[in-house]
Amino acid sequence: MGTSEIVPVVVYTAPGCPHSRAAVEDLRRRGVRFREIDVTASAEALERVLELTWERRLPVIADHERITIGWRGESSTFEALGIETG
């Protein structure tokens, strides 16, 4: 029986979000293991972001201790990215 690899950091992103792109690039450059989830790819991912943050901004970075909204003080709104939440 195989085991799933636990990735300590999850980054919720969207295409066209410059702050999401910057966060992902920085994490890769620093060698941080993470899983990227595109919130435009599934309703469940978008719902999860809203559950975690009650915010409508990206990127959202979650680890086992905290949730961070934005990257280096910057974030993109769902409205600016054309993401509708119903």
pLDDT digits (tens, 9 = 90+) for 50-67: 999 989 999 999 998 899
Question: Hey, what's the torsion of the CAs at 46, 26, 15, 5, to 10 degrees?
Answer: -50
The average pLDDT across 76-82 equals 95
Q: Residue ranges of the domains in the chain?
A: 13-74
What fold does the segment set 13-74 form as a domain? Answer: Glutaredoxin (3.40.30)
State the pLDDT at residue 1.
46
> How many whole angstroms separate alpha carbon 62 and alpha carbon 67?
5
